[in-house]
Amino acid sequence: MTSKKLTSSAGLTIPKDLRLRLGWKPGMSVDIDPTSDGALIIRAHSPRCRFCGSYENVHKYKDITICTECAKEMKEAI
């Protein structure tokens, strides 16, 4: 475990050894998700469904990312 202080603007620097281990580069995008127990999960950014949050079977339509399942539900609802 590594303890860090947030910067004056509430930013966080990921320790270099962790960045190297994960292959994360400065400037890359990450996804940050709160958990129900007050923690944060930080992952390298990848497209996720705008409606259910799934990372699987995600497609981009115009400016919306949507998974196959939500697209099916939307089609049936319209």
Q: How far is the CB of 77 from Zn ion (least distance, A)?
A: 13
Q: How far is the CB of 37 from Zn ion (least distance, A)?
A: 24
d(CA 24, CA 41): 15
Choose the stretch contacting Zn ion; rule: CB under 5 A; options: 3-11, 23-31, 32-40, 43-51: 43-51
For residue 70, state whether it binds Zn ion (rule: CB under 5 A).
yes
The alpha-helical segments, DSSP class H, found in the chain are 16-22, 68-77
Q: Is 4 or 62 the residue whose CB approaches Zn ion more closely?
A: 62
**The amino acid at 71:** A
d(CA 67, CA 55): 8
Residues binding Zn ion (CB under 5 A): 49, 51-52, 54, 67, 70
